[in-house]
Amino acid sequence: MKTRTWLLQALGLLVLAGPASAQDRPAMDVNRYTRAERLLGWHTDDLIAGDAVVPNWMAGGNRFWYRNRTVDGTDFVVVDPVRATRAPLFDRHRLAAALSLAGDTAFVGNKLPFTRFDFVEGSGEGRIHFDALKKGFTCDIRAYTCVVGDTLADPTPFVRSPDGTREAFIHEHDLWIRSVTGTDSVRLTEDGEEFWAYGITAARPSELVAGRAQRPVLQWSPDSRRIAVQRMDERNVGLMPLYSSTHQRPRLYTYPYSLPGDTVIPRFDIHIVEVESRSNVRVALDPQPYLTFTATGMRDSTWVTVKWKGGGERLYFTHASRGAKSITLYEADLATGGARPIVGDTLATHVELNLDIVGGAPNWDVLNGGRDVIWFSERDGWAHLYRYSGDGVLKNRITAGAWTVGDLVGVDESSGRIWFTARGREAGRIPTMRAFYSVNLDGTGLSLLGGRTRTIGSGPPPTDGSSWTRTPARTCRPCRWSGTGPAGWFAPWRRPTCPFSRTRGGPRRGSSSTRPAMA
């Protein structure tokens, strides 16, 4: 009884103290909250012009085009790094007029209805094709004429073969191919089933609501003879319910979704399918868990778990444990499915193959006919590149020091030169900003490229590594807005502070802190 009385007295004191402490807090300033909200990305993106260059390399690999965001909309620019020229790819206003005439809809030059396009094969980069308004458009960007089709092409996502003759796609849980004309479809696998399909996973609610199909997770061999394809096993994985109340009658969606502690989780195998014979060889390893960071899955439109080499005669892939506590690089035997381990890492926490766990591709490659392997590792506490032989013997470190490698951007096998991004190598620079470097495969000749350290790489380089793009770390000094946006505000650029702390008995660790531009 005494205990109960004591608890009631304590509860009463807490109730009395609650309003007093609330009264001590300052009232929420709605104006400050509103100003802070205006700096969220979806409000500020349209206020920043020329902030990124994502190159789309053109035939020959020496020129690229990109979509440039300007203060009055967007335009398309072609760049020739060799000649150091930059010019509009086409007259956007003339193209808008041609589109308006063909599509019977008014278009304006600074808001064209597409963000990407394909050059029409055989047109000498004089014609482009794109989809807009549920129709397909083909435009001559020299004569400024456009032709519109009645409907879009088959919306089923596909991956085109390197020789340009066939397309691989998924239908009824199995792998199919067809000619580029969309006819003569051939079924390559026969045993796909729901929750155990080739190339795709069970549809997620966002895909069901949008009616959007998945791009197949597969990779053609360079000679177009074989296809390496993922087969995800989601059978008996617990279902996650999700309902949508945006309609008058709520809709319930369920999809496989494992949780920490579950014994059954999504796992996948790698299958090697030969196109002509339709043979299907499973790589003979235990199915590996799907990881959402830097080891498996898709990056942009590429399945980064595997890499074909030798023109399609060798297949390399990574295999990870649950939680990525270990990751190993293997070579697959295309005929038998046997797997030969080459190099790997095991850590008590988890292994990363790129510090950018959201969009970074795994930093490994196989060179010189399998005799050299580049491998990314944090084994010494820093993220660096190592060189191994094809049988897993360490040859040398490629990079070393109290700094971190970011992306393995490209390799020139003939010269033995590697291009990569890194952070924190030069003293006094902001630790979060990347710089671009090159180094020899044996670890000699490390050099900073571009002449400035406060730059970040953007987009893939051409295949020969002769050029790269960079974006200034600051797009304006200070950033000011005058025009049709939020009236009269400006956001001065504030240099991040870079505090360092020393771990217990270990080296210094750097960080970066950026305060809001509008207090």
Give tens-digit pLDDT for 50-99: 777 888 989 888 899 999 988 788 999 999 998 999 999 999 999 999 99
Rg over alpha carbons for the chain, rounded to the nearest Å, is 27
User: What's the rounded mean pLDDT across residues 333-361?
Assistant: 91
From residue 313, alpha-carbon distances to 164, 168, 334, 394 in Å are 19, 19, 8, 25
Task: Report the pLDDT value the prediction gives residue 9, as an integer from 0 to 100.
Answer: 52
User: What's the rounded mean pLDDT across residues 20-46?
Assistant: 73
Query: What phi and psi values does residue 454 have, to the nearest 5 degrees?
Result: -90, 65
- Residue 3: is its pLDDT beyond 50? no
289 pLDDT tier (thresholds 50, 70, 90) = very high
Q: Which two tokens stand for residue 492?
A: 């001065």
Give tens-digit pLDDT for 412-421: 999 999 999 9
Task: Tell me whether the omega of the peptide bond preceding residue 241 falls within 30 degrees of 0, making it cis.
Answer: no
Which three-class secondary structure string do you get for 68-95? EEECCEEEEEEEECCCCEEEECCCHHHH
Compare 184 and 446 and report the one with higher pLDDT: 446
516 pLDDT tier (thresholds 50, 70, 90) = low
d(CA 126, CA 368) in angstroms, rounded, equals 38
Per the CATH hierarchy, to which homologous superfamily does domain 157-362 belong?
A: Dipeptidylpeptidase IV, N-terminal domain (2.140.10.30)
Query: What phi and psi values does residue 461 have, to the nearest 5 degrees?
Result: -85, 170
Kindly compute the dihedral angle of the four CA atoms of residues 275, 281, 285, 290, in this order, to the nearest 10 degrees: 40
Give tens-digit pLDDT for 253-262: 999 999 999 9
Task: Report the pLDDT value the prediction gives residue 151, as an integer from 0 to 100.
Answer: 65
d(CA 373, CA 180) in angstroms, rounded, equals 36
Task: Report the pLDDT value the prediction gives residue 40, as an integer from 0 to 100.
Answer: 82
Compare 431 and 102 and report the one with higher pLDDT: 102
- Residue 493: is its pLDDT beyond 80? no
pLDDT mean across residues, the chain: 84
- Residue 481: is its pLDDT beyond 90? no
Cβ atoms 18, 437 nearer than 8 A: no
User: What's the rounded mean pLDDT across residues 159-165?
Assistant: 92
In terms of average pLDDT, the best of 27-31, 82-86, 351-355, 437-441 is 437-441
Q: Could you tell me where the beta strands, DSSP code E, fall in 285-413?
A: 288-289, 298-299, 302-303, 306-309, 314-320, 326-332, 339-346, 364-367, 372-377, 384-389, 394-397, 404-412
Least confident of 334-343, 388-397, 442-451: 442-451
399 pLDDT tier (thresholds 50, 70, 90) = very high
Pairing mode, if any, of strands 500-502 and 490-491? unpaired
Cα dihedral sign, 412-414-416-417: negative
- Residue 356: is its pLDDT beyond 90? no
Q: Is 435 left (phi over 0), alpha (psi -120 to 50) or beta?
A: beta
Give tens-digit pLDDT for 206-248: 888 888 889 999 999 999 999 999 999 999 999 999 888 777 8
Task: Report the pLDDT value the prediction gives residue 52, as an integer from 0 to 100.
Answer: 78
Compare 482 and 281 and report the one with higher pLDDT: 281
Q: Where are the alpha helices (DSSP H) in 198-242?
A: 205-210
Pairing mode, if any, of strands 435-440 and 186-187? unpaired
Nearest to 430 by CA among 380, 518, 356, 500: 500
Per the CATH hierarchy, to which homologous superfamily does domain 365-475 belong?
A: TolB, C-terminal domain (2.120.10.30)
334 pLDDT tier (thresholds 50, 70, 90) = very high
In the chain, residues under CATH classification 2.120.10.30 are: 365-475
Task: Report the pLDDT value the prediction gives residue 158, as an integer from 0 to 100.
Answer: 92
In the chain, residues under CATH classification 2.140.10.30 are: 157-362
